[in-house]
Amino acid sequence: MATATTNPDLAPAGVEIAQKLGLLPEEFERVREILGRDPNFNELSIYSAMWSEHCSYKNSIRLLKTLPRSGPHLLAEAGEENAGLVDIGDGWACAFKIESHNHPSAIEPYQGAATGVGGINRDIFTMGARPIAQLNSLRFGDITAEARSRWHMRGVVKGIGDYGNSFGVPVLGGEVYFDPCYTTNPLVNAMSVGVVRTDRVISATSHGKGNPVFIVGSSTGKDGIHGASFASKDITDTSMDDLPAVQVGDPFMEKLL
């Protein structure tokens, strides 16, 4: 059995490591209260992911709660399933999902945008729906003055198009605006739309003990590690050090799924 002396990931970790993982000092103290001891690196990594803005919406949840969550044609309340689901009549429903992939696209435009498309397609077909269309809303810096903005635009547009073509779902439309405020951190919002029979909708939740868990997809690599906590950080001069946090897409495997 591994111990703290043989595995450094099991040794107690301090607030400095917590801050490198994106946790605030007060959040580190809260983790200590919950566990009743100092957390180790593995535990801090889990908390940094689950408590990140990317996963928990801890900063924006107050605004999100002001939006409507239910309606006469909604088949799933906001936040209840992997994607939104609207009854469109005649036994059919429309599933849709919008997701931003801003930070990954800022440091690796091609894979950052491509995996953003892959993520929302996943959320559509895991509802039992078949994706039929993709859209996007993009913001870049001044491409006439900034080489970085041109790099962002070329990589993002190619990443979105290549993933959609490989996956077999067309990009039907989008919008793009340019402003110097987006030079460092572009905005990359992708949307996927699918259709499903209302009697064939699949729920994202499962309850009960003894249920089997199946992990399906590409082989797990080192890419994407600490991706959630990275996506919740500010973009700085050292953000390129987080390049391994950007996941590498595999549209052909996802198409098989």
3-state secondary structure 66-126: CCCCCCCCEEECCCCCCCEEEEEECCEEEEEEEEECHHHHHHCHHHHHHHHHHHHHHHHHC
Choose the catalytic residue: 101, 103, 152, 226.
101
Q: What is the pLDDT along the chain (257 residues), one digit of tens a residue?
A: 555 556 777 788 889 988 888 889 999 999 999 999 999 999 998 998 889 887 788 888 889 889 888 888 999 887 788 899 999 999 999 999 998 888 889 988 998 899 889 889 989 999 999 999 999 999 999 999 999 999 999 999 999 999 888 989 999 999 999 999 999 999 999 999 999 999 999 987 778 889 888 888 777 776 556 555 555 555 656 555 555 556 677 777 777 77
Where in the chain are the domains? 8-51, 77-205+212-256
The one-letter amino acid at 123 = D
Which residues, 6+ apart, have CB-to-CB distance to 42 below 8 Å?
A: 9, 10
At CA 44, angle to CA 111 and CA 50, rounded to 5? 60
Question: What would the two tokens of residue 141 be?
Answer: 């810096």
User: What per-residue confidence (pLDDT) applies to 119?
Assistant: 87
- Answer whether 245's CB lies under 8 Å from 108's CB: no
Per-residue confidence (pLDDT) for residue 35, from 0 to 100: 95
pLDDT score at 124: 94
pTM above 0.85, yes or no: no
Q: Which CATH number fits domain 77-205+212-256: 3.30.1330.10, 3.40.50.300, 3.30.530.20, 3.40.800.10?
A: 3.30.1330.10
Which of 225, 230, 232, 242 lies closest to 9, judged by CA? 225
Annotation says 54 is catalytic: yes
Please identify which of the residues 54, 103, 152, 226 carries the catalytic annotation: 54
Q: So what's the pLDDT on residue 237?
A: 62
Place of tokens 């990275």: 230
pLDDT at 54: 77
Residue 73 is among the residues annotated as catalytic for this protein: no
pLDDT value, residue 157:
95
